[in-house]
Amino acid sequence: MPKQPSNLLKTNNFWQNNYLILRELKHFRKIAILAVIFSFLAASFEGVSIGFLLSFLQKLTNPNQPMHTGIGWVDVVLVSDVLPISPIYRISLLILLSTWMRATFNYFSAIYTESAQLHLADRLHKQIFEQLQAMRLSYFTQTRSGELINTITTEIERIKQAFSGAAFVFTRFLTVCVYFIVMFLISWQLSIISVLIFALLAVGLSTLNKRVRETSFGISQANSQFTATAVEFINGIRTIHAFGTQEFERQRFYQASSNQLNAAVKVVMAWTLVKPIAEGIATTVLISLIVISFTNFTLPVASLLTFFFVLVRVIPNIQDVNGTVAFLSTLQGSADNIKAILETKNKPYLQNGKIQFQGLKRSIDLVSVDFGYTADNVVLNNITLTIERGRTTALVGASGAGKTTLADLIPRFYDPTDGHILVDGIDLQKFDINSIRHKMAVVSQDTFIFNTSVRENITYGTSGASEAKIREAARLANALEFIEEMPQGFDTKLGDRGVRLSGGQRQRLAIARALLRDPEILILDEATSALDSVSERLIQESLEKLAVGRTVIAIAHRLSTIAKADKVVVLEQGRIVEQGGYQELLELKGKLWKYHQMQHQASQS
């Protein structure tokens, strides 16, 4: 069986294994360096004060012996007759001075350590944000939002604790080193015995710390599951009430909370076991050393008292180090979660192009395009389609036919798994995608409303719009009337996900947002699906005006909304089965004609 590493080595491994986190320290290295410097100075003055204490005890136990510390200027002060006070008072003042100097350095060390961990958390927040923003949408379809929120909040908070704990271990380690130096200067024999015993203690406790580390992964997993369950409960509260599934959600939430509790209890039971064991062994070591020193070594009383004073100070510091190392082991799961997000290998990044989009000149062409969300789930098959500039192309088909997926390829929410999308003959992936998206607006059936004012929701993505343009966009979207009836009008806060609005009102705000953007390319994914017949007619008129001179890709469930489209594309099971003018396809009496007949019969019944 291989030898277990020591506790301090395991702490070092904890940070070595999380280089992706530690690399953020370079952005505030001055703060971190100052924390180290002040910690070193505090530890040094701890040794200085103990040296003065030895001289103090020597003078008390042997008043006739002159004081001697080995420090030139100190010995001059002690024997000098310049100060009209006795040497015992002088050394007392030096002890107090060194103590207050140590306290001052500890204060600054704590300030810079806390500042460093706050900067670390800030950097990790920003790095995770940049990582998530750079991902393709496919990453978010495979990852629960609650787990990501847990990592950004809870896990980073735990990493702050890890940094604080590591800083604590470092400062205590420096102090213990100073203590051992003093002990060796007093009695190297007793010091060697002490080091050997404490080394054996460290090896023994490493087994316990390994167990603590293994239990830490469970608590991170339980925290992620709990956060994900809580987020789903809050976001889905309307559906929960609608289906009367409160009892089911209660059981699911209680189970997640219980799992979190059980995981935390396991960690606490393993972690808290370290300190009492360490205390018991350390006390045994102390008593044993006292017995050994009196029976086997002859030391001056002052030296012996100082040695045991230092040893008494060493033991709680070593106990604190062992306890903190055990606590650091509980945070490995959190570090691994953050490391997994920061890791750049095997991540679905959006590879952006460099060509700036100057506007559509001719057409967008899909050439033999295939797409699947996974390798075994192909959604689009051999799509070849031309979307001409300044014309409206409507996508029609049953649910699951691939209409929305096809439209999502244009703004590069996803990329084809095979084939090419060409913009004026240039591969879409060669363009700076934001230069295209800035000339594009998307109004989807799943409208997202931000928890800000009406005005901020309408102007989202269009900064600097005048009040007149905002009101005009709202009027054209048939939203002005209900906005002015709200308590604060355009300044009314809409709540989380626009909870204060009806489905139709949310949709009309989204259309106003698109109108204000004045896009070259407009994607309408069942944009009028949430509206009543009167609002639908008014919005349809507005959209028809908006579509003039623009390239429009419209996905429609109601065929009446795309009757004036320049081209209608009928999809079935991810394939184009028909395309042409609306009346032209009706005359063929193919798939579009069947959809037309079905909707006509439904409206008559």
Measured between alpha carbons, how far is 75 from 97 in angstroms, rounded to an integer? 16
- Highest mean pLDDT: which of 76-90, 285-299, 327-341, 346-360? 346-360
Residue 539: inside a domain: no
Are 479 and 431 found together in one domain? Answer: no
Measured between alpha carbons, how far is 79 from 553 in angstroms, rounded to an integer? 95
- Residue whose structure tokens are 């901020």: 456
With bands split at pLDDT 50, 70 and 90, how would you rate the model's confidence at 288? confident
Query: What's the DSSP call for residue 291?
Result: H
Residue 371: inside a domain: yes
- Report the candidate in 575, 225, 83 with the shortest Cα–Cα distance to residue 366: 575
Q: What is the pLDDT of residue 209?
A: 63
Measured between alpha carbons, how far is 328 from 213 in angstroms, rounded to an integer? 8
Query: What's the DSSP call for residue 431?
Result: B
Are 220 and 360 found together in one domain? Answer: no
Average pLDDT of 375-395? 89
Decide: helix, strand or coil at residue 358: coil
Q: Is the dihedral of CA 530, 534, 536, 539 positive or negative?
A: negative
Q: What is the pLDDT of residue 592?
A: 83
Are 412 and 460 found together in one domain? Answer: no
pLDDT at 577 over 70: yes
Residue type, 459: T
pLDDT at 24 over 60: yes
For β-strands 377-388 and 575-580, DSSP reports them as unpaired
With bands split at pLDDT 50, 70 and 90, how would you rate the model's confidence at 294? low
| C-alpha dist (Å) from residue 284 to 272, 277, 295 | 19, 11, 17
Residue 68: inside a domain: yes
Are 225 and 259 found together in one domain? Answer: yes
Measured between alpha carbons, how far is 63 from 86 in angstroms, rounded to an integer? 12
Are 481 and 599 found together in one domain? Answer: no
Percent of the chain residues past pLDDT 70, beyond the cut: 74
| Token pair of 59 as six digits | 């003078």
Q: What is the side-by-side strand order in the sheet with 418-423?
A: 377-388, 363-374, 418-423, 426-427
| C-alpha dist (Å) from residue 163 to 22, 115, 176, 332 | 9, 11, 20, 12
Measured between alpha carbons, how far is 569 from 59 in angstroms, rounded to an integer? 101
With bands split at pLDDT 50, 70 and 90, how would you rate the model's confidence at 301? low
Are 363 and 506 found together in one domain? Answer: no
Q: What is the pLDDT of residue 385?
A: 92
Q: Could you tell me the residue range of the domain that residue 63 belongs to?
A: 7-342
**pTM, entire model:** 0.65
Are 360 and 393 found together in one domain? Answer: yes
Are 299 and 371 found together in one domain? Answer: no
Measured between alpha carbons, how far is 106 from 104 in angstroms, rounded to an integer? 5
Measured between alpha carbons, how far is 459 from 513 in angstroms, rounded to an integer? 6
527-559 pLDDT, tens digit per residue, is 666 566 666 676 677 677 677 778 999 887 777
Measured between alpha carbons, how far is 337 from 150 in angstroms, rounded to an integer? 10
Q: What is the pLDDT of residue 89?
A: 67
Q: Which of 307, 342, 377 is the C-terminal boundary of a domain? A: 342
- Highest mean pLDDT: which of 69-83, 194-208, 253-267, 289-303? 253-267
467-493 pLDDT, tens digit per residue, is 888 888 888 888 888 888 888 888 888
pLDDT at 85 over 60: no
Residue 350: inside a domain: no
Are 235 and 366 found together in one domain? Answer: no
The strand ranges marked E within 351-430 are: 363-374, 377-388, 392-396, 418-423, 426-427
Write the CATH number for 201: 1.20.1560.10
Measured between alpha carbons, how far is 36 from 112 in angstroms, rounded to an integer? 9
Q: What is the pLDDT of residue 94?
A: 72
Residues in Cβ contact with 25 at an 8 Å cutoff, skipping those fewer than 6 apart = 32, 116, 120
Average pLDDT of 244-262? 83
Q: What is the pLDDT of residue 565?
A: 85
With bands split at pLDDT 50, 70 and 90, how would you rate the model's confidence at 409? very high
Query: What's the DSSP call for residue 449?
Result: -
Residue 543: inside a domain: no
With bands split at pLDDT 50, 70 and 90, how would you rate the model's confidence at 96? confident
Q: What is the pLDDT of residue 2?
A: 35
Residue 540: inside a domain: no
Average pLDDT of 351-372? 90
Write the CATH number for 471: 3.40.50.300
Measured between alpha carbons, how far is 536 from 422 in angstroms, rounded to an integer? 33
Measured between alpha carbons, how far is 260 from 292 in angstroms, rounded to an integer? 49
Average pLDDT of 587-591? 84
- Residue whose structure tokens are 């709200």: 486
324-334 pLDDT, tens digit per residue, is 777 777 777 77
Q: What is the pLDDT of residue 502?
A: 73
pLDDT at 420 over 90: yes
Are 314 and 364 found together in one domain? Answer: no
- H helices present in 425-479, as ranges: 433-437, 454-458, 467-476
Are 434 and 484 found together in one domain? Answer: no
Are 159 and 302 found together in one domain? Answer: yes
Q: In three state form, how does the secondary structure of 123-191 look?
A: HHHHHHHHHHHHECHHHHHCCCHHHHHHHHHHHHHHHHHHHHHHHHHHHHHHHHHHHHHHHHHHCHHHH
- Our count of domains for the chain comes to 3
pLDDT at 422 over 90: yes
Residue 560: inside a domain: yes
Residues in Cβ contact with 600 at an 8 Å cutoff, skipping those fewer than 6 apart = none
Helices and strands in the chain, H and E counts? 23, 10
- Report the candidate in 8, 78, 71, 79 with the shortest Cα–Cα distance to residue 45: 71
Measured between alpha carbons, how far is 321 from 172 in angstroms, rounded to an integer? 7
Residue 537: inside a domain: no
